[in-house]
Amino acid sequence: MVNRTTFGISAVQRQSLVISLTAFFTSLLLIALVSVLILISFRGTAYFWPEPIYMVTGTHHDGTTFSVLANVFDEPANEDVTLKYSDTEHPYGFQIQLSREEIDTSLLANESAEIKLLDGRRVLAIPEHIVVPSKPPQTLDKIDAIIEDVAQISAQIEELNTRHLASIHEALSQFDKRDVVADAPARERLVASFKEYQKRVEVLEKTRAEYTLSVSFADGAPFIIPISSIQDVDFVSRLSTFEKWKVVLSEVGVFLSDSPKQANTSGGVFPALFGTILMVFLMTIIVTPFGVLAAIYLSEYAPNTALTTIIRVSVSNMAGVPSIVYGVFGLGFFVYTLGGSIDELLFSETLPAPTMGSPGVFWAALTMAILTLPVVIVATEEGLRRVPEGLKAGSYALGATKIETIVRTVLPIASPGIMTGVILAIARAAGEVAPLMLVGAVKFAPTLPIDGEFPYLHLDRQFMHLGVLIYDGAFHSQTDGKSASMMFAACLLLLVVVFVLNILAVVLRARLRKRYLKG
Amino acid sequence: MLKLFEHNTLNVNDINKDQTAVEVKNLSLWFGNKQVLNDISMRIPRNKITALIGQSGCGKSTLISCFNRLNDLYDGCKYEGEIIIDERNINSRKVNVSRLRTNVGMVFQRPNPFPMSIYENVCYGLKLQGVKIRRHLDDAVEGALKQAALWDEVKDRLFESAHALSGGQQQRLVIARALALKPDILLLDEPTSALDPLTTLFIEELMDALKKQCTIIIVTHNMQQAARVSDYTAFFHQGRLIEYADSDTLFTMPEKKQTEDYITGRYG
């Protein structure tokens, strides 16, 4: 053994020093990863968690007193307490920060409720009673049934509007085009039925307007909310933990299925989730055959020359090109050049309004396909290289041609490698933001790229994307805490999407491996 | 004990055209600048087992790969001379290589079953030829597996992965895969070198049974194996055919000193 007491560091010590250094940096990495996960999950789930409502009274520094119903965010580490409150002046919520000495009392307000409106806004108030037409005021326990009734009336109005009124309107405009005289009998019949339907709508709307919820604020001031604008009423302060989880679940449901409201600060993210998945799906359809065919050529057919090596190196390097460059390329080449030419050839009657010549989901998918192509090519080549030569020889020896050998033997065995590439590509595309904003992703898209209108899949439409939504939310969050938590929730969702895709891929790859490789 | 049909073994020089399965005429082969085979001429008799022996790198594996043109897969492989199978020179450019390979089956040193079911492995070649009718495939699979003496062991698990089989079973599966195409010639490239002695014996018995249907050409490093199973043996050294005779003569009274040194283990 080396004498440990000599100057300097002995070999054994040197080794343990190296081990502890490497372990230290590994643990730093782990801490960074875990804190990202914890932060995102914590802040993300907080968006869904029902906050209890307090009756807060106090005196401002200038001597005026106040009394509000509020969610209280009191973190010992911060000097100030944040209140999100509703009162007569700000029925739909307002956020202030107060120092602790300004607050006199803060009591859990059991009677108060969080009233979520369909447009995404919230009112914190004490519900008093429900007004319904031609009946005495109803008690609060009937609120869910009444909301349901009103929703049915709204559905009737919607149907009258979209089915009947819209088609009559369409027919009338046809008459206008053909210069049918105003007093033609057919026209008069139409106008009459239009008025008839309109009257029905008016009657329904009037009835609907009579359903209201009377509430009061902390100072007793009354406030009236039409039932038709209410999505849900939660008495958050008196919910048990189990009931809170039920609220969380329904909130998650709304988050996943609803559209963003109030400039992407509340409501759901369904269009963004849908847009992300659709774009990734289209991209996968484009990039997989391209990448796999290119990799097959490079690894099975290309002669072993300097040119092939240059191509191979360039492909690997393409993976390192900044994504915004691809975005600019997509905009300049796909959207303007390619899309513009398509417009001139096929949609010339609508010019100068562009059809394909403007950013849209197809161009975004194509751009992302180009961006992720190197990943797929490199992973596929790796997979192809792993196919044992003996198996290829065995296939040739049975009379298979090169292409038959590739299709029947090489590709199945390389499929785990191909899967790996496609998954990496999907994860990359799902999280990319910058290039997408140039080629079709927008903060808010009024329509989905898929709907019931021919041709059902509208590749030319702009779309929403989770990454872009988060980017947008991050800007809002500088002024408003609420949208920050929406952003975190969207982040969490994006993580979940990528995680689920990865798990799927790992499982699929493991199954393919088990099937096609020795084991 | 294995050689019950030995009485009709001929002198190699007396093999006539009708009895010849493969006729090699002045075959030379290069990988790049390196000459691997040097002016080889021989007649390999029909329905016999012919063993090719020699040191590693003497070109014997390369030679049998010429019989199904598998050397075409390697870049920089050139050859001249003729190989006549069924009255056609298979070195000609006009030869349909796929069809040649279905007629000349090959089994490799390491068992290389495809990562598919046993059934799929056996009908791989037939499916390539466009056989789709299930009954025909079933019959062919059963026939080939019976010929390869594997049927009884796998008949209950035809649709399980071929990789679940033992090494010896895998090698017989690979033989069955080649036999399913009903080849006239079966090339065995050190088929038992990765197997244990008992399995080796089993495969040797199988070869003896198979020579009724096809000509077998086997490359082996195992001198006892060559002596046991083959009717004819050719000894190669550095790309040249040194001596070619019926196995009894070659192993008991070799003409050339080199051959004697090799088979008695003095070098190699």
Q: Do A399 and B178 touch (CB under 8 A)?
A: no
Note the pTM of the prediction, 2 decimals: 0.76
Q: How far is A374 from chain B (nearest CA, A)?
A: 28
Q: Do B102 and A398 touch (CB under 8 A)?
A: yes
SS3 A238: helix
- B266 touching A (Cβ < 8 Å): no
Cα separation, A382 vs B97, whole angstroms? 29
Side-chain half-sphere exposure of B120, counting CA atoms within 13 A: 14
pLDDT given for residue B148 in this prediction: 86
Q: Do B98 and A413 touch (CB under 8 A)?
A: no
Q: Do B124 and A304 touch (CB under 8 A)?
A: no
Cα separation, A412 vs A415, whole angstroms? 5
Cα separation, B29 vs B71, whole angstroms? 10
Q: Do A397 and B101 touch (CB under 8 A)?
A: yes
- A347 touching B (Cβ < 8 Å): no
Preceding amide of A352 cis, omega within 30? yes
SS3 A178: coil
pLDDT given for residue A476 in this prediction: 67
For B3-19, write each residue's pLDDT tens digit.
444 445 667 777 777 78
Q: Which of A397, A515, A518 sits opposite B68 (nearest CB)?
A: A397
Interface ipTM: 0.89
Backbone conformation region of residue B190, classed left if phi is above 0, alpha if psi is from -120 to 50, else beta: left
Q: Do B70 and A396 touch (CB under 8 A)?
A: yes
Nearest-by-CA chain B residue for A409: B114
Q: Which residues of A touch B70 (CB under 8 A)?
A: 393, 396-397
The one-digit pLDDT tens for each residue of chain A (519 residues) are 445 555 677 888 888 888 999 999 999 999 999 998 898 888 888 888 888 888 887 887 787 888 788 877 777 777 777 777 777 777 887 777 777 777 777 777 777 788 888 777 888 877 777 777 777 777 777 777 778 888 888 888 888 887 777 777 777 777 777 766 666 777 777 777 888 888 888 888 888 887 788 777 777 777 878 877 787 888 777 778 888 888 888 888 888 887 777 676 677 788 888 888 889 889 999 999 999 999 999 988 888 889 999 999 999 898 888 999 999 999 988 888 888 888 778 777 766 777 777 788 889 999 999 999 999 999 999 999 888 888 999 999 998 999 999 999 999 888 888 888 888 888 888 888 889 988 888 777 777 887 777 777 777 788 888 888 888 877 765 555 555 677 888 888 888 888 887 788 788 888 887 777 653
Q: Do A518 and B163 touch (CB under 8 A)?
A: yes
And the tokens for B65?
Answer: 């790969």
Q: Which of A391, A398, A515 sits opposite B128 (nearest CB)?
A: A398
Going by their DSSP bridges, the two strands B49-54 and B215-219 should be labelled as parallel
Q: Which residues of B touch A519 (CB under 8 A)?
A: 163
Q: Which of B75, B108, B163 sits opposite A394 (nearest CB)?
A: B108
- A405 touching B (Cβ < 8 Å): no
- A516 touching B (Cβ < 8 Å): yes
And the tokens for A492?
Answer: 């969490």
Nearest-by-CA chain A residue for B183: A398
Tally A–B CB contacts below 8 A. Answer: 66
What is the Cα A451 distance to its own chain's centre?
A: 18
Cα separation, A327 vs A370, whole angstroms? 10
Cα separation, B149 vs B154, whole angstroms? 10
How far are the Cα atoms of A276, A451, B129 from residue A454, in angstroms, in the given order?
Answer: 22, 8, 45
Q: Do A399 and B73 touch (CB under 8 A)?
A: no
Q: Do B129 and A393 touch (CB under 8 A)?
A: no
Count of residues for chain A?
519
Cα separation, A448 vs A270, whole angstroms? 10
B residues 157-216 lying closer than 8 A (beta carbon) to A: 161, 163, 174, 177-178, 181
Q: How far is B20 from chain A (nearest CA, A)?
A: 22
Q: Which of B75, B110, B124 sits opposite A398 (nearest CB)?
A: B124
